[in-house]
Amino acid sequence: MTHHSSARPKARRNPRKGYPGVRRARGLAGLAFASAAVLTLAGCSPQAGDSTSPGGATAAVAQGSIEGVAAEGVDAFLGLPYAAPPVDDLRFKAPEPPEAWEGTKKADAFGPACLQGGEVVGVEKSEDCLYLNVYRPSGVDADAELPVMMWIHGGGFGGGSGALFDPSEFVERTNTVVVNINYRLGALGYLASESMGADAGSFGLLDQVAALDWVNENIAAFGGDPARVTAAGQSAGAMSICGLLTSPETTGMLSGAILQSGSCAFRAFTPFEAAVEAGNTTAAEIGCPAGAAQLECLQGLDAEVLMETPGRFSPTFGSDVLPAMPMDAIEAGDWDAIPVLAGSNRWEGKQGIFFSVGPDAGSMTAEEYEARVRETYAEKADDVLQRYPAGDYDQPALALAAIDTDSTFGCSTFTFAEGAADQATIYAYEFEDPTSPTNAGMALDGIDMSSAHSAELAYLFDYAEVERPLTGEEKELGYRMMDYWAEFLTSGTLGSPWVAFTAEAPTFIKLTPEGEKPFEDFATEHQCEFWASMS
């Protein structure tokens, strides 16, 4: 990978060369809260003799000793600071290392979620939010060298909290270590202006880099292997990982990546110069015009004022932090070409119609569907309507969902796999469960919402933003998925029925309650050649 200059001193890199040291999003809308298991962990205080692991749920990290929560099968260490609070004169700057502490720090409660619109049930929100949580199997030896997953939540770069995904069952079943993290969101994470320098618009991504630094440095203290750290994420979390894969900041720090419903072919990041120009305008509108005093002015504003600034924020590219749009870097071979497991859900776009059409989507008429397509695709609308006639679907709104599924999610996953497969081992999947529960609060009258965006999360984690618990058959699919994910964490490979994706054999694995099977008709089923011609 090509290295780019940076004014920031680098932390430890490439743990493979030797280790030197010691609930949730409604897709793109925001997160709701967690399971009884997480509440139990957060609400109890460890007592002498409670732990099933040697010496209790304790560990020693670079900043000091910690005592977590020992539950049956899993030790959890909650609310660990991986960076200094990004407040006051650290607002709109790259994260600084956390301070050390004396004595033993209690790690039995989640840190606050980062500021965002709406409530995050069960946790407070704060600008001081750079915390992570570590889950390990009970009784694990410190030198166990277990594979590690660092989970990055989704939420459209504007919502979410790592604490709201409970991986306890995953950890106990698969004998792995899981870390979930917070990172700055919205304007506090991604606003750019000329006064912020080369890091402008990259603060949320740099938080993830800092969390990965912390994991590489400290995970051995929890029985994890710093040479086997896989970043996994969903939606905006997966897109963030694409930034980690292509940033010089993280070269050599990951052994693998898992991208769920967020492909590196999404062109979701913002050009640096355009972000700075827009950010200067935004800053002036809220009373901080360009000039020498701009940054100090922005750092002095009430954080809630900043979070209410209009606009959709995402990481910038075209700087030292992220030199290029991720897919462009991948196609140029300028990335960490490590094994990747990437996939999407069969009906991702069903969640999209909840937001774009609303609760009355089930009553959308064919005429209303056609009008919306014409508004979106203008002179190309006839081609889209010919490919997706309303009469082919139970409701016209499902035709709209099919368009979003194929054009936005399915075919971008295919494009990434096709572009990366000649450089790295790529495994591709599609999740399809025709009975999967709907995300809580997102049911639409008259429309089957199964296999929508975020549907797979409840199969991997205790993810309570669903309308009901999984059935026994759904749970069995979840167990198989946990085992596949863990196999990938362990070795970067997957055995039968999985086969690596290649240009000659572009194979996806269909994940269904009836079992898994390879299929090579993914691009045809999702009309990817058509959507490629539309770009």
β-partners of residue 427 are 341
Q: How far apart are the first and last CA of the chain?
A: 28
Interatomic CA distance for residues 260 and 239, integer angstroms: 9
The verdict on whether 3 is a catalytic residue reads no
**Residue 277 among the catalytic residues:** no
d(CA 516, CA 522) in angstroms, rounded, equals: 14
Q: Specify whether the CB–CB gap between 168 and 37 falls below 8 A.
A: yes
Q: Rounded distance, CA 403 to CA 527, Å? A: 10
Q: Is 6 known to be catalytic?
A: no
Ramachandran area for residue 136 (φ above 0: left; ψ -120 to 50: alpha; else beta):
beta
Of the residues 202, 249, 430, 453, which is catalytic? 453
Q: What is the DSSP string of 68-112?
A: -EEETTEEEEEEEESS----GGGTTSPPPPPPP-SSEEE-BSPPP
Type and span of the H or E element at 136: strand 131-137
Which residue among 67, 348, 465, 474 is the active-site one?
348
Q: 51, 168, 235, 412: which is the annotated catalytic residue?
A: 235
3-state percent helix, strand, coil for the chain, nearest multiple of 5: 35, 20, 45
Q: How far is CA 220 from the centre of its chain?
A: 23
432-437, long-range: CB within 8 Å, 24+ apart, which pairs?
432/345, 432/346, 432/347, 432/510, 432/511, 432/512, 433/459, 433/474, 433/477, 433/511, 433/512, 433/513, 435/471, 435/473, 435/474, 435/513, 436/474, 437/466, 437/467, 437/468, 437/469, 437/470, 437/474
Q: Do the beta carbons of residue 76 and residue 178 sit within 8 Å? A: no
Identify whether the C-beta of residue 211 lies closer than 8 Å to the C-beta of residue 148.
Answer: no
Residues identified as active-site: 235, 348, 453
